[in-house]
Amino acid sequence: MKSYILQLLLSMPVMLLALSVHESAHGYVAGRLGDPTARNLGRITLNPVKHFDLLGFLSMLILHIGWAKPVPVNSRYFKNPRRDFAIVGAAGPLSNLCLAILHLALLRIVMIFATDAVLYGRISSETALIVLSLVVYILYMGVAMNVILAIFNLIPVPPFDGSRIFYAFLPPKWYFGVMKYERYIMIGCIALFFGLSRLGINPLRALEDWFINGLFTITGMGGGTTELGVFNLLLGYLGQLMNA
């Protein structure tokens, strides 16, 4: 229980940043396409209070699947509503992928120095080792949470952003038919994910792991590398401290 609470506390800043960037991206792109609604409501901001949704936040903490308060979008301002709505929808997941890459770049830089310090005994104290382990863990969570948020939101059913992209390719008759039942589809999807999580099933886990492992491989921290070994060593050390 202690370990779980500590993990939540360390993950919270990363999670709030990921959700704030996600919603701000929606609002910013909507503004660029002519809709000033989000800007007028002060929703283009990294202040997490502006985007906070209690149910979505608790879901992210417990199920690792969550959401923020949706940014309002008025498609009447768009020149091409269906196309522009899809572009706005894609902005959120794309922003999280960019944020994941940024965290990964920082993690790669830290791991260059961490690997050298660990292999050649240049860590002078236990405090320094703890700080280094915390930095590595937080940066990794920045990669993992943003990848999870991006993939989750690309699911092509409401209320996820993927549905906005998917709708752009539907014939008008089907589009308005699906929109009519959007709320019921949303409730069904949330119930389904909650039910699967209770059974210990995460249908997106394999895709998330594959994507994260791919990013690690591209940046030279794939399986069998010294950097990955030191990375696992630091996270294992931090895990032992949390469980102590």
Write the pLDDT tens digit of every residue in 82-135. 899 999 999 999 999 999 999 999 999 999 999 998 888 888 888 889 999 999
Q: Is the model's pLDDT at 18 over the cut of 80?
A: yes
Mean pLDDT along residues 160-169: 81
* 121-125, 160-164, 168-172, 219-223: least confident range: 168-172
Query: What single-letter DSSP state applies at residue 155?
Result: S
Query: Which pLDDT value is given to residue 164?
Result: 82
Per-residue pLDDT, averaged over 55-82, amounts to 80
pLDDT band at residue 36 under the 50/70/90 scheme? very high
Euclidean distance between the first and final Cα of the chain, in Å?
11
The catalytic position among 23, 126, 182, 227 is 23
Helix, strand, coil percent values for the chain (each to nearest 5): 75, 0, 25
- Give mean pLDDT, residues 36-44: 94
Task: Supply the pLDDT for residue 102.
Answer: 96
Asked about 126 being catalytic, the answer comes back as no
Cβ proximity of 39 and 31 under 8 Å: yes
pLDDT for 195 equals 75
Residues 189, 113: contact at Cβ < 8 Å?
no
This prediction's pTM? 0.87
Residue 20: phi and psi, rounded to 5, are -65, -45
The pLDDT value recorded for residue 95 is 97
What confidence tens digit (pLDDT) does each residue in 139-153 have? 999 999 899 889 888
pLDDT at residue 29, as a whole number: 96
**pLDDT given at position 168:** 77
**Which of 195, 201, 193 is closest to 65 using CA atoms?**
193
Mean residue pLDDT of the chain comes to 85
The pLDDT tens digits for 183-228 are: 677 677 777 777 776 777 776 777 888 889 899 998 888 888 888 9
Residue-range domain boundaries for the chain: 2-243
DSSP-derived secondary structure letter, 106: H
Q: Identity (one letter) of the amino acid at 208?
A: E
Confidence class of residue 177 from pLDDT cuts 50, 70 and 90? low
